[in-house]
């Protein structure tokens, strides 16, 4: 019988090398696999793109784009290298502005009644801070305020720049309220509000007003960007109505969808980007 030719064939998976008839000796014993030494990570170091994301500038993916474009410096030197690591003590700047590593956090609450919008109360009344106490170890503060008996959307964050933007009148941050009145709103008063009123602290104009479709005429939708104290209630009180219920249903593009009363949630990355893009 002719010998089979094994040239060009690969050894089987179980082939260990050496003569299978010979017992293992020092020369042909299989060598134990050498474990590759794992490089210990330095807990004081963090990837640059993550540093930028934690500072609330943008997502990590977007940070890579900015890094490659030369928008970022570390200790005064431009860095364009992907995967570059920095220490927490490094001077990291984005477009010349030094970044703070504290992670920016954004929490949206659907506020119930009987909670006041303040960080503490000398009278012992319940505050909104109780409702979001488990959301973060950082000190989050409410953006603006809602009256004790006003319900709806309230944003909390430790991002001071965003807070200033959302509370400054020039940015015309959109707020929509669902208003319940003690009586039907007359068509004449409806038009008066739409045209603007003169209150004790100056004129006020709403951005839009509407009756709630399918609801009694005592339920009104009002869009307004003014941040004046109790402004929605005072508009209707000026015309002789009493606001029996007031609910903020939209704030700066954020809605109450899937957020029950008294509950909170973190903003999505896209929602944070949208807020930062408000002009």
53 with 269: CB under 8 angstroms? no
Q: Are 248 and 175 in contact (CB under 8 A)?
A: yes
Instruction: Let me know if 121 is a catalytic residue.
Output: no
**How far is it, in rounded angstroms, from Cα 34 to Cα 32?**
6
In angstroms, what CA-CA distances link 22 with 11, 12, 180? 18, 19, 94
Cβ–Cβ under 8 Å, residues 30 and 16: yes
Q: Which of 90, 91, 147, 201 is catalytic?
A: 147
244: phi then psi, degrees, rounded to nearest 5: -90, -20
The catalytic residues are 147
């Amino acid at each position: 019988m002719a010998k089979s030719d094994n040239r060009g064939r690969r050894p089987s998976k179980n082939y260990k090398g050496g003569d299978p008839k010979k017992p293992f000796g020092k020369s042909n014993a299989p060598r134990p696999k050498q474990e590759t030494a794992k490089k210990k990570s330095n807990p004081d170091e963090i990837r640059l793109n993550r540093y930028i994301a934690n500072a609330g500038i943008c997502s990590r993916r977007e940070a890579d784009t900015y890094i490659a474009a030369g928008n970022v410096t570390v200790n005064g030197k431009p860095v364009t290298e992907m995967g570059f690591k920095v220490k927490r003590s490094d001077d990291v700047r984005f477009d010349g502005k030094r970044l703070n590593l504290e992670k920016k956090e954004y929490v949206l609450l659907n506020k119930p009644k009987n909670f006041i919008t303040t960080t503490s109360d000398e009278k012992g009344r319940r505050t909104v801070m109780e409702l979001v106490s488990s959301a973060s170890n950082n000190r989050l503060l409410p953006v603006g305020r809602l009256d004790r008996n006003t319900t709806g959307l309230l944003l909390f964050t430790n991002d001071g720049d965003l807070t200033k933007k959302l509370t400054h009148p020039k940015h015309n941050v959109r707020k929509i309220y669902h208003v319940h009145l003690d009586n039907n709103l007359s068509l004449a008063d409806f038009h008066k509000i739409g045209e603007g009123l003169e209150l004790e602290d100056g004129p006020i104009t709403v951005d839009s007003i509407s009756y709630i479709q399918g609801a009694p005429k005592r339920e009104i939708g009002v869009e307004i960007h003014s941040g004046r104290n109790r402004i929605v209630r005072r508009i209707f009180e000026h015309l002789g109505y009493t606001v029996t219920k007031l609910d903020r249903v939209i704030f700066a593009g954020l809605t109450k969808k899937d957020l029950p009363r008294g509950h909170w949630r973190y903003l999505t990355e896209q929602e944070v980007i949208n807020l930062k893009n408000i002009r």
